Amino acid sequence: MNAIYKKELKSYFCSPVTYTMIALFLLLISIFFYLGNLMSQDPNFGSTLQTGEYFLIFFAPIITMKLLAEEKKNKTEVLLLTSPASVVSIVLGKFFAAFTVFMIMVGITVIYPIILLFFGTLPTASIIGNYIGFIFMGALFLSIGLLASSLSDSQVLSAVVGIVSLFLLWFVGGIGESLGGVLGKILTWISPIYRYTSFANGLLKFSDIVFYLSMTGLLLYVTVVNTERKRWKQG
């Protein structure tokens, strides 16, 4: 796992795509920081971070799109799958590399609350809660992106599939609410956006943390199964 993690991380930072992506993400966050915090004199950076979740719909699948699709396209998948390394360790290595890139993006945004600190007191609980929620949400989105990347050998296709899936997931809660009944309850229950609300309020609920972690784990497991199944099916 370590070897794959290091290799992926290196290839991320050898690619201009990564730098462009990080820059674009920070540019967007900066704009909302300027409008939402500086202009409107609101010390709660958490609300800006909440807006940032929308960007994650695009950024997470773009981070992960190449991870498995490119291996297939360049026929390097053979090397990984004929080595004694297990598919689980391959998928985890790749996931954590993507997660590290994501954490670097998130890490840089810490500058903004620090800037705000010079002008007054901050709603610390809400900001920390938002960060924790943002990171869990990011991990979940990355695992969806990684699954999308395991579906084909085209990076563009995996990015599109990832973005569309995340869009649908975004609306699941709203649909559930309007539907009502058992189905509605289930839909609201699986909505990561609804789960996020308590983090935004500065509440750390154990059930929410378990939800994000287990959903991420489940999606990674599906990716592992899919990678193996493909091999079993058509070679």
162 close to 56: Cβ distance less than 8 angstroms: no
Angle between helices 192-200 and 45-73 (to 10 degrees): 140
Binding flag, residue 206, other proteins (CB under 8 A): no
In terms of Cα–Cα distance, which of 177, 211, 174, 219 is closest to 195?
A: 211
Among 17, 23, 79, 225, contact with other proteins (rule: CB under 8 A): 79
Residue 41 or 234 having the CB closest to other proteins: 234
Binding flag, residue 82, other proteins (CB under 8 A): yes
> Got the DSSP string for 181-198?
HHHHHHHHHH-HHHHHHH
Taking CA atoms, 129 is separated from 34, 96, 126, in Å, by 21, 22, 5
Among 17, 31, 114, 231, contact with other proteins (rule: CB under 8 A): 231
Q: How far is the CB of 43 from other proteins (least distance, A)?
A: 43
Among 20, 76, 124, 214, contact with other proteins (rule: CB under 8 A): 76
Neighbours of 145 (CB within 10 A): 29
Integer Cα distance of 37 and 204 in angstroms: 24
Q: Per-residue x/- mask for other proteins, residues 34 to 73, rule CB under 8 A?
A: ----------------------------------------
Residue with the two structure tokens 């674009």: 24
Among 19, 34, 54, 74, contact with other proteins (rule: CB under 8 A): 74
Binding flag, residue 16, other proteins (CB under 8 A): no
Among 15, 20, 124, 201, contact with other proteins (rule: CB under 8 A): 15
Q: How many CA atoms lie within 13 A of 88 on its CB side?
A: 3
Q: How far is the CB of 95 from other proteins (least distance, A)?
A: 17
Interface residues with other proteins (CB under 8 A)? Answer: 2-4, 6-7, 10-11, 14-15, 74-86, 231-232, 234-235
